[in-house]
Amino acid sequence: MQVTVIGTGYVGLVTAIGLADAKHDVICVDLNKERMERLSNGIAPITEEGIEEALQQNQSRLTFTTEYPVSDLYLIAVGTPERADGSCDLSAVEAVVKLIHSIQPDAAVVMKSTVPPGTTEKLQTVYPSLRFAMVPEFLREGTAIRDMRNPHRVIIGAHDQQLAETLTDLFKTNAPIVHVDPTTAELTKYAANSFLAVKISFINEIARLADIVGADVEDVAHGIGLDPRIGPAFLKAGAGYGGSCFPKDIAALTTLAQQQGEHLHVIEAADRTNEAQLQYVLDKINPSPGLHVALLGLAFKPGTDDLRDAPALRLAERLTKMGVTVTGYDPAAKTLLDQKESIEEAVAGADLAVIMTEWDEIKQITPELLVKQMKSARLVDGRNCWAYVNEPGNVQYEGIGRPNKTFSNNQTF
């Protein structure tokens, strides 16, 4: 089948590769000419494990262009950013649908972009000749290719039975396929992201209490996660969540509910807790003018160079405003901070280092390196990931919700 994918961000590009993997011919359309040229040469616009190999493997089935082709099936994967009032900006989606309608008025249009519940139905009313479906995307950055090849489920939201069948074929998988209406598909996507955000904020609150009572949140998370009703995933306490999805999607969903006179209390609270969590890290740093803080890890999570809503950047902004000197290090993300080429350089002369992203090389920083390079070897672990937590040497270590593990060399537990 020949499929056109509009938008070559994370969702569009990875979906296109997935379809090409399944031997479909895919035309990728994006207004960014330079990006299309680079992609045609097998160069990925994002840092993502396995993406360039996947692009090269599927080169013969992938075409990159800035022109909209005539096609029977269009997948929309353009951005739906947050507006100032928290709602979802649908202007790019609307412009794409209008264009598709002008090219092929009876095309099948599949929404892959995350759009608020009700959007696809509304578009169907405006463009009755187009046949719409909504198939939300659940991939994670950093593991996007793996997630695309091994989805946990495929949700197909379509009224049109024939289109639903075509999409069942197109997204063929061993995972469960759930057939619903478009609005239910849209809400499923938001509910999934909100639930995961709630899990993170929940464990972050427990971490704060663990700090007060002297318990270890890592052991609490392990203990509760063994209950299959709870599950072990997304119970990692730390500096809070960021990224291109959770903050934006939660804002869109809570704003939508508020506009209808409804409050999503649990989800709103997860958002507030996430804000407070950054302040909590800031309090642990105890900033004062002239202090030198090294931020280790800047991307919103490891495995990506994505800085959208990255907690490290928000922290850097607050520290800088308080007169703190900030140096940073990240193996992939590039920022406007005083960013160094190595961990050694970033922590050199610093009063305090803060782990903000759990990259492997950051987890493995040795106590010796910190003691040798820093003015005072203080480490705040905003991801509870430091490999030497039980043998910190002369490093003054503080995690999030973990008992203080500062020992001198000859002390044992």
Binding footprint of ligand UDX, residue count (CB under 6 A) = 19
Using the rule CB under 6 A, is 190 a contact of ligand UDX?
A: no
**Candidate segments 120-128, 136-144, 279-287, 371-379, binder of ligand UDX by CB under 6 A:** 136-144
Rounded Cα–Cα distance for residues 176 and 101 (Å):
32
Q: Distance of CA 63 to CAs 66, 78, 355, Å?
A: 10, 17, 41
* C-beta separation of 411 from 390 below 8 A: no
- The residue from 28, 88, 245, 385 that is catalytic is 245
| Helix (H) / strand (E) containing 6 | strand 2-6
**Candidate segments 18-26, 75-83, 89-97, 239-247, binder of ligand UDX by CB under 6 A:** 239-247
Q: Which of 155, 124, 121, 123 is nearest to 138 (CA)?
A: 155
x-or-dash pattern for ligand UDX, window 261-300, by CB under 6 A?
A: ---------------------------------------x
E strands, 44-202, are: 62-65, 73-76, 108-111, 131-134, 154-158, 177-180
Shortest gap between Cβ of 381 and ligand UDX (angstroms)? 13
Shortest gap between Cβ of 1 and ligand UDX (angstroms)? 24
Rounded Cα–Cα distance for residues 304 and 338 (Å):
20
Using the rule CB under 6 A, is 238 a contact of ligand UDX?
A: yes
Q: Which of 77, 66, 65 is nearest to 25 (CA)?
A: 65
The one among 27, 133, 198, 245 contacting ligand UDX by CB under 6 A: 245
**Candidate segments 171-179, 236-244, 323-331, 363-371, binder of ligand UDX by CB under 6 A:** 236-244
x-or-dash pattern for ligand UDX, window 10-49, by CB under 6 A?
A: ----------------------------------------
Using the rule CB under 6 A, is 200 a contact of ligand UDX?
A: yes
**Rg for the chain (alpha carbons), in Å?**
23
- Comparing CB distances to ligand UDX, the nearer of 1 and 269 is 269
Does residue 197 sit in helix, strand or coil?
helix
Phi, psi of 236 (to 5 degrees): -95, 115
Is 385 noted as a catalytic residue in this protein? no
- Comparing CB distances to ligand UDX, the nearer of 357 and 373 is 357
Q: Which two tokens stand for residue 375?
A: 């003015």
- Comparing CB distances to ligand UDX, the nearer of 215 and 322 is 215
The one among 120, 166, 193, 254 contacting ligand UDX by CB under 6 A: 193
Query: What DSSP string runs through 7-60?
Result: --SHHHHHHHHHHHHTT-EEEEE-S-HHHHHHHHTT--SS--TTHHHHHHHTGG
**Candidate segments 93-101, 139-147, 254-262, 344-352, binder of ligand UDX by CB under 6 A:** 139-147
CB within 8 A of 172, min separation 6: which ones?
A: 22
Which residues are tagged catalytic?
245
Residues binding ligand UDX (CB under 6 A): 137-141, 193, 196, 200, 234-236, 238, 241-243, 245-246, 300-301
